[in-house]
Structure 1
Amino acid sequence: VPYMNCWTLIEARHGKDGFGTPENPERFLNQDYQQLKKYCLSQHLRYIDDMFPPDHQTIGEGILSPQDLARVTWLRPGKLVPDPSFVVDGISRFDFGQGMVGDCWFLASAGALTFQNYILGQVVPLEQRFDVDYCGLFHFRFWRFGQWVDVVIDDKLPTINGRLIFVHSKDPNEFWPALLEKAYAKVCGSYADMNAGTPAEALVDFTGGVHICINLSEPPPMLWDMICRAGQSKSLMGCGTPQGETSANTVLPNGLVQGHAYAVTGVKELIYQGQKVRLIRVWNPWGQGEWKGDWSDQSPLWQTVSPQDREMCLSVRNDGEFWLTLEDFLRFYSDLDICCLCPDFLDGGNSCHWKTSYYEGRWIAGTTAGGCINNPDSFWCNPQYRVKVEDLVGECAKTSGENNMLLSLMQKPDKRNRRLVKNLFIGFSIFKVSLFHRGKFPAAFFTTNRPVAQTKTFVNGREVMEFLNMTAGEYLIVPCTFNPNQTASFILTVLAKAETHVQNTFFIFTIIHSN
């Protein structure tokens, strides 16, 4: 387990023996981009990916009718336009719009990705071309459950009547969005496996970073300041609307889409009638369809602010992007996801850095899968991690009344196809423990001690996280599934503002962090 502060998280999470980092990613499905390219160029071949071939299985089931599926033709960009380019006039969220697969969660995250050039360059190698050393071969990088992987694809894209059926660029000559989507579809198993999801999943896979989920029905008191600081840091933000009683993708009278993912692309505080109004800018990955309420593109309220603010903020075109007040944002959106390389922005400055520890573990039925605390005879069998939190010092001590620890528990899938993954209900409990106890805590400890903190609810999603205020002392973290005797692998990430030492009761080690 490496030493790290959280600014090195994107390189160190996790990377074994130098592999699995953005600079030296693992080869997905053991396909080597450089070797494949060298071979294709030497043999004057156009690459066809036998691990993700241009056929019906790659599209998957349920997103096209049998009639439409029979009409699909796989074409390379050079067969669609005479002069294809990977990128045309830079990369922007306005480059593309969603197609026939329900991956708004992925495309909203891709829109957010376009704001961070450093992160974008790690996911999308921008040196790729159609006019130099072209052989129909492209590659992209994603963080996947503990390591970065390099994903190879061919550039055959599914079309009907010569038109792309999935994500499409506004400029027909630009193909980075369609190729990025195809690479992620390969990671998920098929295009159909990208149907339905949350922005958090793709945001984490784009960064390998820290995910903070905010329930907007119970927002933290300093939410506005948090969003502003996140917008100024190396963070990606996505949000979603509630499902509602009707089917997803229903457009409401106010212009918003039910059960839909959006990207947060900006924040601005304006003076309106002598009062401050807080606005959030949101982008719809459909590339069209916008909010119709206050501060929308056509709202007369824009005529009441200064010409400078109006010039800076207002763009009257149906591009899917719009402004709305913080109050309307809280009213009509259900959750906000912030994914960052480091949560330092939560403190409003760089005086106190967070430190990160990262561990992989496994629940095994019959041995280390004790279920939740409602199972007193077996709960103690779960993996146990001891955490020693020391007093905050210096500038950090000035924020001692605030949350100082973020815990994330992510389960790792046992199947390649995303739609076949059956996530277990997972959570964790935290107990205050004695400094003098060594070894694994027995069942008797958990019958006489109650958790000092725990997940609010068990979630059958990829990740559950909690933001906590922990006083100095020694604690025991017990990650668990809700039911006992369920086998799965997991990743536990501990971020703390103070000096923190962690040891696993199965094999003991100590992490010393430095600023």
Structure 2
Amino acid sequence: MTCVKMIHSLYEDGCEGSPSNPVRFKGQDYMQLKKSLLSQANKFEDETFPANSDSLGKLEDLTPEQLKEVEWLRPHDLNPDPSFIEDGTSRLDFKQGDVGNCWFLSSIGALTLHNGLVAQVVPHDQSFKNDYTGIFHFRFWRYGKWVDVVIDDLLPTRNSEPVSVSSRSQKEFWAPLLEKAYAKICGSYKDMIAGNPPEALKDFGGGVHMNYKLCKDKSDLWDVMYRAIESKTMMGCGTFTGDKGKEIYKTFGLVDGHAFAVTAVKQLEIDSDSIKLVRVWNPWGEKEWNGEWSDKSGVWNTVCDQDRDECLKQRNDGEFWMSMKDFCTYFEELDICCESPNFISGDEGEWNCSLKEGRWEKDTSAGGSDSQSGEFWTNPQYRLTVREGEEECEGAKNVLLSLLQKPDEEYRSKLKYHSIGFTIYRVPEEAPRGRLPQSLLQDEEPLKVSEFSESRELIEFHSLEPGDYLIIPCTYEPNQTGSFIITIYSKVEAEIE
């Protein structure tokens, strides 16, 4: 395992927001609630996320008449012998329901490949047998802190079939309950409709997220993906929308505008040629690629029996292989989330991590992006000191900056992200400590001005020589209010204040 001081290690053991002491979502204490339920021999009914139409919301795939037919049932009503987890957690345990949240479910599929993270998100000491009271809990990384989310096990159904994600065995319920916990964080099941995998990947572990546009020529992408698998990352990908996406759907069996998980990469040797393959999983549990290297492709007859048997263990499960070339042609983008940036740089060194919270306030600390304006210097300022280190390599990227928006809105579907970015200056040696006035740097050219993006998170990699730097996170337009988290990963020793 590569060495990295992870985000959650910034908290002392037992400190609120750490893995051992997560923040209680809506103030609910799982252990105290369960103890009270046991003493009263009651089953939990969550008043903060009640089993009604408000918690479900208006799902696009159900008509108003069908929504009226929804009945909230406990797992014991759906199966006389339900299980929370059987034989571990797997992406093949579940399939998507009538909630358009493929972005979230594909991310669960990626999560299940990493047992350590699964155990953090899905506490395994839960059961329908011993001390069962209808209460469960799950944990998510939310804006720098781990949060514990309590739910009851009443699930939305129609005709005794789950409306949301369902168990392929019809017996195992960890995935439907995990989905319900995330729906509670989002505001409702409806609020989970539409999204991108990195949002959920980030909430499953924090860490570093990188996005790759596959249509661009990236000669090192295979190496990045291989290192990502070796580093135990989570990877998600998405297909095109519009006319190009519909053509893919018709011709090759893929789904346009849909989120998938990348679950493996493999290099095969055939007649002295190296073939690079990518394994992809559809959270629908069906609809697979039918081109070259698909389950029924004749090209599998050209590989040795061992490789063929290893790669084609199951069929009709939504998972398939395709060549790296086809993957980059028919998928639009790839997202990778990992605790350390080492999958990018390819080395095994230690990364330090610092996290700070900030806020833009209208008329006081939201000066916009124009560095020549008088208001620009009212933006929050962060002084980054990069020290000399043994592992320095001239020109190597040694600092990764993340700017993550922290919305005030409770309901996910109502979120509106600002266009955000940051400007980096080299601080003159004579500069005092504390906030710097505009006059000190007004004649200085910024060392770097980032792109601006209306996204939840903006990430950029930089090569910074030893010295002091001023980082100014900002919104593109002035006087826009919002909270943010700035995270800095540094390859050499660095301090931020």
State yes or no: 1:188 paired with 2:182: no
CA shift in 2, pair 1:336/1:15, >3 Å: farther
- CA change 1:333–1:471 in 2 (3 A) is farther
Question: How many Å separate the matches in 2 of 1:101 and 1:358?
Answer: 34
Residue of structure 1 equivalent to 2:476: 482
Identity of aligned residues (%): 49
TM-score by length of 1: 0.92
Superposed CA deviations along residues 271-320 of structure 1, whole A, max 9, x for unmatched, are: 13321111111111111111122211111111111222112212451111
Following TM superposition, by how much is the alpha carbon of 1:73 offset from its aligned partner in structure 2, in angstroms? Answer: 0.4
Task: Show the counterpart of 1:119.
Answer: 117
Q: 1:13 to 1:382 in 2, by over 3 A?
A: same
1:452 pairs, out of 432, 444, 447, with 447
1:43 to 37, 40, 48: 40
Aligned mate of 1:441, from 420, 436, 452? 436
5+ long unaligned stretches in structure 2: none
Residue equivalent to 1:360: 357
- Cα distance in 2 between the residues matched to 1:17 and 1:35: 18
SS in 2 for 1:253: helix
Residue type of the alignment partner of 2:318: G
1:131 maps to a residue whose letter is K
Question: What is the letter of the counterpart of residue 448 of structure 1?
Answer: D
Task: Check if 1:261 corresponds to 2:259.
Answer: yes
Aligned residues: 494
Given candidates 456, 467, 492, the residue that maps to 1:462 is 456
Whole-Å separation in 1 of the counterparts to 2:4 and 2:228? 15
Aligned CA distance change for structure 1 residues 191 and 247 (closer, same or farther; 3 Å): farther
Give the corresponding residue for 1:427: 421
TM-superposed CA distance for 1:442, in Å, is: 2.9
Contact 2:384-2:470 within 8 A present in 1 as well: yes
Distance (whole Å) between structure 1 residues aligned to residue 248 and residue 71 of structure 2:
30
| CA–CA distance in structure 1, aligned partners of residues 229 and 68 of structure 2 | 45
Partner of 2:408: 414
Distance 1:14 1:337 in 2: 27
1:146 matched residue in structure 2: 144
Q: Does structure 2 conserve the Cα–Cα contact (< 8 Å) formed by 1:388 and 1:501? A: yes
Residue 13 to residue 162, structure 1, CA distance change in 2 (3 Å): farther
Query: How far apart, in 2, do the equivalents of 1:338 and 1:135 lie?
Result: 38
Q: Which residue of 2 aligns with 1:323?
A: 321
Letter in 1 for 2:148: D
1:282 aligned counterpart, secondary structure:
strand
Distance 2:24 2:378 in 1: 35
Moved more, 191-200 or 493-502: 493-502
2:90 corresponds to:
92
**More deviation, 87-96/327-336:** 327-336
Q: Quick check: 1:371–1:382 contact (8 Å CA) kept in 2?
A: yes
Query: Given the superposition, is the C-alpha separation of residues 233 and 201 from structure 1 closer, same or farther in structure 2, using an over 3 Å criterion?
Result: same
Worse-superposed segment, 477-486 or 467-476: 467-476
TM-score, normalised relative to structure 2: 0.95
Give the conservation status (yes or no) of the 8 Å contact 1:86–1:175: yes
Report the AA paired with residue 27 of structure 1: R
State how far apart, in whole Å, the 2-side matches of 1:316 and 1:384 are: 54
Q: Give, in angstroms, the shift of residue 375 of structure 1.
A: 5.8
Q: Distance in 2 between matches of 1:72 and 1:209?
A: 38
Counterpart residue identity of residue 371, structure 1? G
Residues in 2 aligned to 1:21 and 1:248: alpha-carbon distance in whole angstroms? 44
Specify the code of the residue in structure 1 equivalent to 2:448: A
* Partner residue in 2 for 1:73: 71
Retained in 2: the 8 A contact 1:212–1:465? yes
Residue of structure 2 equivalent to 1:24: 21
Structure 2 distance, partners of 1:477, 1:319, is: 47
Deviation, 1:387, is 1.4
Indicate whether 1:176 and 2:174 are aligned: yes
Q: Unaligned regions of 5+ residues in structure 1, if any?
A: 504-515
Structure-2 separation of matches of 1:168 and 1:401: 50
Change over 3 Å in CA distance of 1:85–1:300 after alignment to 2: same
Whether 1:378 and 2:378 are equivalent positions in the alignment is: no
Residue 234 (structure 1) aligned to one of 228, 232, 235: 232
| SS of equivalent to 1:207 | coil
Show CA shifts across 1:351-375 (max 9, x none): x211111100000110110011266
Query: Aligned partner of 2:282: which letter?
Result: N
Partner of residue 491 from structure 2, selected from 493, 497, 501? 497
